[in-house]
Amino acid sequence: MNIALVTDSTADLPPEVVERYRIQVVPNIIIIDGKSFEEGPGITRREFYKRMPTFQTYPTTSTASVGTYQNIYEGLLQQGAEQVLSIHVSGRLSGIFNAASTAAEAFGERVKVVDSGQITLGMGFQVLSAAEAIARGADLETALKIIDGVQRRVLVIAMLDTLEYVALSGRVSWARARIGNLLRIKPFIKVKDGDVMRWGDVRTRRKGIERLKEMVRDLGDLERFAVLHSNAKTDAQRILQELDIKIPTTPLVVNVTTVIGLHVSPNGLGFAAVTI
């Protein structure tokens, strides 16, 4: 069975994984001062964070169109795929799932669109698990079961440097209410079942890093793990080193993609973990 895998750029999969499993990654679009850029090919993370202070207006994001998804599905099917499995960022956070689902309607059973209920590696690990299974010869039904299993065991938690950006993103209702907060805080967020929730706050980065590490340790044995950061590589690497995680797969350190970085602010730190 030849199954093609599609996801979008918020999956934050490392390029070598994308290449090895021939995963089609649909870039999201970021609009900076009136100009549109495709994530990745159009503007690198490094360039984005470097230019961030000079942005005149708060950048906005956009998804690939229904037409783009339709073209991609059609191309993959024409190139010999019998089925397409398209896994996307939580429908509660983005319109990508809707766009992809609408595009898929024209292909009936041949294209299956999945709401990962997650973002960044929380979704990426689902895609990766499916890719590995398909490479071993799994059929669509099995791949879907695997995705479902990972989805239930995956967790994304992050400490943001400030609440401001999440509030501006308009994607999280509580953030706006909390911006009137009088104390300087570093909010924690947790992504689970498609939603971004508050997960308590800390007041200093040092305490926040300790708390992140403690949370990881509390999870027990892990199947997959990634330290996430928004342009804070040094801290992220140190966290991974200090955690000294023993897992069957290689732990990752991932600078989250720009559309997420934009919504969580630079200097964010977090992790994505799949428990056993």
Binding stretches for another protein (CB under 8 A): 177-178, 180-185, 197-207
Q: What is the DSSP string of the chain?
A: --EEEEEEGGG---HHHHHHTT-EEEPPEEEETTEEEEBTTTB-HHHHHHHGGG-SS--EEEPPPHHHHHHHHHHHHHTT-SEEEEEES-TTT-SHHHHHHHHHGGGGGGEEEEE-S--THHHHHHHHHHHHHHHTT--HHHHHHHHHHHHHHEEEEEE-S-SHHHHHHT--HHHHHHTT-SS--EEEEEEETTEEEEEEEESSHHHHHHHHHHHHHHT-SEEEEEEEESS-HHHHHHHHHHHT---SS--EEEE--HHHHHHH-TT-EEEEEEE-
Smaller CB separation from another protein, 152 or 184: 184
Smaller CB separation from another protein, 135 or 177: 177
Could you tell me the smallest distance in angstroms from the CB atom of residue 214 to another protein?
9
Smaller CB separation from another protein, 20 or 184: 184
Smaller CB separation from another protein, 92 or 178: 178
Could you tell me the smallest distance in angstroms from the CB atom of residue 187 to another protein?
9
Could you tell me the smallest distance in angstroms from the CB atom of residue 179 to another protein?
10
Could you tell me the smallest distance in angstroms from the CB atom of residue 11 to another protein?
27
Could you tell me the smallest distance in angstroms from the CB atom of residue 197 to another protein?
7
Smaller CB separation from another protein, 185 or 243: 185
